[in-house]
Amino acid sequence: MKVLLTGGGSSHEREVSLRSTTAMEGALQDLGYTYQRVDLENELDVVDHWDDSYDMVLLGFHGVAGEDGLLQAVLEANQIPFSGAGVADSILAFSKDASKRQFMKHGVPTAEWELHFHDTDKELPETQLELPYVIKPDNEGSTIGLSVCEKPEDLIVARRVSGAFSKLIYERFVPGRELTVGVLGHEVFPIVEIFPGHALYDYESKYTKGMSRYICPADLDDALTKSIQNLAIKAMQSAGVQVYGRVDFRLDPQNQPWCLEINTLPGMTETSLLPMGAAANGLSFPQLIDHILKLSLKKYS
């Protein structure tokens, strides 16, 4: 198999994407695949680097333009095979409002929310939700633009952090434990529990080595583990997400899981959670990449 490995891009997550792409490049070398790596400023430039000698584009992008379905649509229009989720599933998963609607429709518990369209030059929209609640962009990843509002004064910071975005989700804050579940094809990985270095599992906590602590498998009883893993699969199916992804949850003090979102191009860095879950299931990082490539190719057979 000859692979076109692509990363970088134009989103806020460019640096993380480059780190993911470097890790995937190492995996391709270990696997003995023929490949070409390109680091791009514009995700859509992938098309200009493609030729018929390649079998697959391995996507290392994260965030807007790489993960929101636009790139997938352009690749599909040019009949270029690519890894991971397709067009419709990328669009649905990347919008928190759209994905939460799918969760509700398919019986996946998700916290109450409101969608607001926001003029970035004006005050934040008012909400019917009671404090505490979370404000976050509808279509960003890696907790970019996210604010936790526990008291009225927190809205001052939220205005600066979240107010830079024009399409906002207000979501009831769920106290409790931070969990995530990787899914690869029909296989669900052991649950990872996250103990963030900050009160919030923010960008720095995610991508600074040693900042956060993780346990995998999470310390949960068998019945609760199975229930959350089943919800992860159900969440993926609700948005039609193909090949692989990572589903994030909060587990409240009553042991009720609440689904937050699906990541269709989750991080592949040394601190990333999908490879951690895969490793706990006996899959090395190169084996994980190999499975992603082979499952992705099956979409086109």
What are the residue numbers of the active site? Answer: 13, 142, 207, 246, 248, 261, 263, 267
Q: Write out the DSSP string of the chain.
A: -EEEEEEE-SSTTHHHHHHHHHHHHHHHHHHT-EEEEEEESSGGGHHHH--TT-SEEEE---STTTSSSHHHHHHHHTT--BSS--HHHHHHHH-HHHHHHHHHHTT-----EEEEE--TTSPPPP-SSPSSEEEEETT--TTTT-EEESSTTHHHHHHHHTTT-SEEEEEE---SEEEEEEEETTEEPPPEEEE-SSSS--HHHHHSTTTSEEESS-S--HHHHHHHHHHHHHHHHHTT--SEEEEEEEE-TTS-EEEEEEESS---STT-HHHHHHHHTT--HHHHHHHHHHHHHHTT-
Give the span between the Cα atoms of 114 and 70, in whole angstroms: 25
